[in-house]
Chain A
C-alpha cells in the first residue's frame, strides 16, 4: 500500500516545491521553487533530508492534511496557527505523526508561508528535473502539469518503522518575520541610466508590498521613480532584479519570473532579502538599502555552505 498524506483542504494556495527547475531558461522555462527558500531548506535540514527533497509550500494558510503513514514531519516558515489533532504547535521543529493524524493550518499569526517536509521527502515525479510547481508554465506539481494541491490529492511519502528524534531550531537562528523589512539592493549595470534624483527617491522612500504581487514579481507601491528614456531590447533577467516600468513603481522579480524582461533595472536584491519578503503579507512596509556585490556574495556563500548546497 502506498503511504502518504491526503489533502482534506488545500487552503488558500498550497503547492509542491523543490529547489527549482534549472537549465531551461534559454527556452523560456522559469526556475520556480519555494518563495522562502531558507525556510524550505530548514525543513529538510531538521529531518536530515537531502537539500532538494520535495516539500509543501502553504501560502496564507487554511490547509488540512491527513496522515496515511507514520513518519517524522518538519514544519518551518511563518506561524500559520498549526494544530496537530487539534493541539496547537509552534513551527521550526519536527514531529512524529501517525496514521489518521491531521495537520491543520489556520491563518497567519506571523509570516505568510509555511513549509512541510517529511522524512525522505515527498515522492513526486519530476518534469524537466524538478517537481517545483509553476502553474503559469504548466510544469511540476503532483500531475506534472503545474496544478496546485486540490481536495483529495494524495502526496506519497515513505513510512518510518519507528519514531525519530524530535528537533527544534534554536530561537537565535530563527528569522524575524514580523518587523519592518529592509531589502538589500546590489545596484546593477543600468544604475547610471537613472538620475541621482530618482535614486534619492528610491533610497528615501517607504514602499508597500502590493496585493497584486505573486511568485513572478513583488510589486511595490510608493514614491514614483523617474524611468530613463531608453528603449531596451529585452534581455534575460536574474532573481531579485528590480524593474521600473513607466509608472515608476518598482517590481522585484522572484523565483517564477519571466525569463526575459525589457524594463530598466535599478539592480537586484540580495536573495536572502527575497526570502524574507516572501514571508510578508501584502501591505507590509518596505525600505531599500544599498549593498556591495562582495558583501552580498559573502552572505550568500555562508548561507549556501550552511545548508550544504
Chain B
C-alpha cells in the first residue's frame, strides 16, 4: 500500500476550496479521490454541497455561512487521513469494455494519426486497444470521461481547425488524451472511430455508481478498454441501444 498523500488547501472562490494532492498523476490517485469524495459527502454533508474530482484535485463547494474555512480544512484533512489509499489494480475498479468501429467514415483522422506516428492504421488500431485507460476526470460536458494512459506513440496534436460538429460516440485523440464524445458538438480531436456506449443517461439513478441504472457507465478511478468491432457489429449494436433508449 502506498503512503497516504497529504492534501494542500487553496481558496478557489467565495464558497469553494481546492484540495490538491501533488501535481503528478498516479494510477491509483483517481480511485482514492473517488473514495474521498464519498467520505466527505457522508461526513460533512451538512456543510459541503458538492465535491468535484479531477486528476490530482478535489474542488469542495461549501456553505460559507455554516463553517469557517479553518475548521473546514481541518475536517477535510481528517477525512483525507481516514480514507485508505487503494492498492494498484483494485478489485473495486470497474473495467468497462467499449466496442469501437475504427476507421472508415467513423474515423476520418485515423490516417492522420497513423501518418503522424509513423505507423500503419492497423498498428494504430492495435495500440489504441492494447492497454487499459484510467478515468482521471469526468467533466467538460455530461459524461465526458478524460482517459489517461494513451500509448506514447499515438500522441497526436489537435486539429488546427476544430470541426463544427463531431457526432456523438466519436472516439478521439488529442495530445496524450483519448476520449469518447458523449454527445455531438464542436471539437478539435482526431477522430479514429465510433462507439455506441451511452455515456450519460439523465434518467439514471444518481445514487448508483455502476450498472445499467447509473447515470454514467464509469466513475473517476475506473478503467476503460476499447475493443475493435466490425461495421456490421457496430450497426447491430447501435440498433439495439437505440431501441433501449427511445
Q: Which residues does A use to contact B, with CB under 8 Å?
A: 22-29, 127-128, 136-139, 144, 186, 188-189, 233-241, 258-260, 268, 270-271, 293, 296-297, 300-301, 304
Contacts and interface: CB of A to CB of B under 8 A. Distances in A.
A271 B142 CA distance: 24
A222 to B, nearest CB: 23
Given A23-B206, A25-B52, A26-B51, 17 more contacts: A22-B50, A24-B142, A25-B61, A26-B53, A26-B220, A28-B141, A138-B183, A186-B13, A233-B23, A233-B25, A233-B54, A234-B146, A236-B18, A236-B54, A237-B59, A260-B139, A300-B14
Contact of A268 (B13, B56, B57): B13
B70 interface: no
A25 B14 contact: no
A188 B52 CA distance: 18
B143 A188 contact: no
A240 B61 CA distance: 13
Nearest to A270: B14
A52 to B, nearest CB: 15
B103 to A, nearest CB: 28
B128 to A, nearest CB: 22
A25 B50 contact: yes
Contact of A236 (B11, B59, B141, B215): B59
A271 B14 contact: yes
Nearest to B202: A127
B66 to A, nearest CB: 11
A188 B13 contact: yes
Nearest to B145: A28
20 contacts: A25-B61, A26-B51, A27-B142, A27-B143, A28-B200, A186-B13, A188-B11, A189-B10, A233-B25, A235-B56, A235-B59, A237-B59, A238-B16, A238-B59, A240-B13, A240-B14, A258-B140, A293-B11, A293-B69, A300-B14
B151 to A, nearest CB: 19
B143 A189 contact: no
Contact of A235 (B14, B51, B54): B54
Given A236-B59, A238-B16, A241-B12, A26 B50 contact: yes
Given A189-B12, A241-B12, A28 B54 contact: no
Interface string B66-77: 000100000000
Contacts of B50: 22-23, 25-26
B235 interface: no
B138 interface: yes
Nearest to A137: B142
Nearest to B14: A296
B13 A259 contact: no
A53 B140 CA distance: 28
B216 interface: yes
B194 interface: no
Give 5 nearest A-B pairs by CB, closest first.
Answer: A189-B10, A236-B59, A236-B52, A260-B139, A238-B13
B202 A128 contact: yes
B138 A28 contact: yes
B144 A28 contact: yes
A270 B151 CA distance: 43
Interface string B187-214: 0000000000000101000100000000
A26 B64 CA distance: 20
Contact of B12 (A24, A137, A234, A268): A268
B123 to A, nearest CB: 28
B226 interface: no
